[in-house]
Every structure is written in C-alpha cells, then in structure tokens.
C-alpha cells in the first residue's frame, strides 16, 4: 500500500532536532503514524473522566487504508474534527491514544520502531498490530446507545 501521508523530502530525524512548535506543516503531518485510533469514537466516563476507545469509526474513516477518506476537506463534513497543533495538544492529551506519535513526542518519549518515519514502511504500523486497519465498524451502522458494546483495549502491538 502506498503511504497516504507524504513523507518525501523530509529532514533526517527532524522530530528529534526541532521543537514541535517549530515543525513545518509537512513535518507535522508526517509525524502521524497512520494508526487511525484517533478517528474512533470514544466514550468518556462522566465521573472519572476516563476515556475508552471503541472500534466505532468516524463516518469518513476508510478502514482499508486506515486513513480519513476526505482528509483535506474533512471539515466540510465533520466540522468538529480536531486539527491538532502544538498550541492545542496539551488540552487534548487526555483522549489521545498512548502510542500516538504526537503524544509520545510531547511527553519527551521516542517513536516506536514501527513508526513509518523510522521503518520507512507505511505498512509497519499495521504489521505491528497497532492500527485500526480492518478492525472497525462504521458509526452509521451502530446506534450511539450501543457504542459501549464495542469498547476495545487500545491495540498496542
């Protein structure tokens, strides 16, 4: 599968040399490992604030490519989809997946070896069992009251 994210012509190991707030837009996008976990609906426990991941995917999520089917124009359809940036990442950390490259870097941790920026292979995230590829159900098929029947442990590989 070709990489849905453009990772060509990037500075070598740019994420280790440059603060997140100083990355170029292309470098920022290339940080995404393509796991698709942030595109799953989540359930938040009102009392504890704990967030649980479901396999119920956003209606724009393409389960086979494990990527947003309309990424550049997604806000026309899903205005609430968050555009993550160095300015808002802190307030979003509570729901972000543990293996998310943005969260790892923000917390000063290294990327995993299966990250396409390390492996140079966009499929390594799927081969490692960390992604949502072929694991989801579309949100338009599941009543919101039933999402709790589709809770999953975060696939950590």
Q: Which stretches of the chain bind ligand SF4, using CB under 6 A?
A: 32-39, 58, 60-61, 68, 71, 74, 78, 81, 97, 100-102
Closer CB to ligand SF4, 20 or 47, in the complex: 20
Q: Is the dihedral of CA 147, 149, 150, 152 positive or negative?
A: positive
Closer CB to ligand SF4, 78 or 137, in the complex: 78
Q: How far is the CB of 116 from ligand SF4 (least distance, A)?
A: 10
Q: What is the rounded distance in angstroms from the CA atom of residue 80 to the CA atom of residue 48?
A: 24
Buried/exposed code over 82-114 (b: 16+ C-beta within 10 A; e: otherwise): eebeeeebeebeebbbebbbbbbbbeeeebbeb
Closer CB to ligand SF4, 16 or 47, in the complex: 16
Question: Counting every residue, how long is the chain?
Answer: 157
Number of Cβ within a 10 Å radius of residue 59? 13
Closer CB to ligand SF4, 97 or 122, in the complex: 97
Asked if 66 and 126 touch (Cβ cutoff 8 Å), the reply is yes
């Amino acid at each position: 599968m070709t990489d849905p994210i453009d990772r060509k012509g990037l500075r070598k190991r740019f994420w280790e040399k440059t603060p997140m707030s100083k990355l170029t837009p292309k470098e920022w996008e290339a940080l995404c490992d393509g796991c698709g976990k942030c595109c799953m609906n989540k359930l938040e426990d009102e009392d504890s604030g704990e967030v649980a991941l479901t396999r119920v995917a956003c209606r724009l999520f393409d389960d086979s490519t494990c990527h947003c089917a309309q990424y550049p124009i997604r806000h026309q359809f899903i205005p609430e989809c968050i555009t993550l940036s160095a300015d808002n990442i802190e307030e979003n950390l509570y729901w972000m997946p543990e293996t998310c490259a943005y969260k790892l870097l923000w917390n000063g941790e290294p990327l995993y070896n299966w990250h396409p920026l390390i492996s140079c292979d966009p499929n390594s995230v799927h081969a490692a069992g960390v992604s949502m590829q072929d694991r989801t159900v579309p949100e338009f098929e599941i009543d919101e009251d039933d999402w709790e029947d589709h809770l999953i442990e975060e696939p950590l590989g």
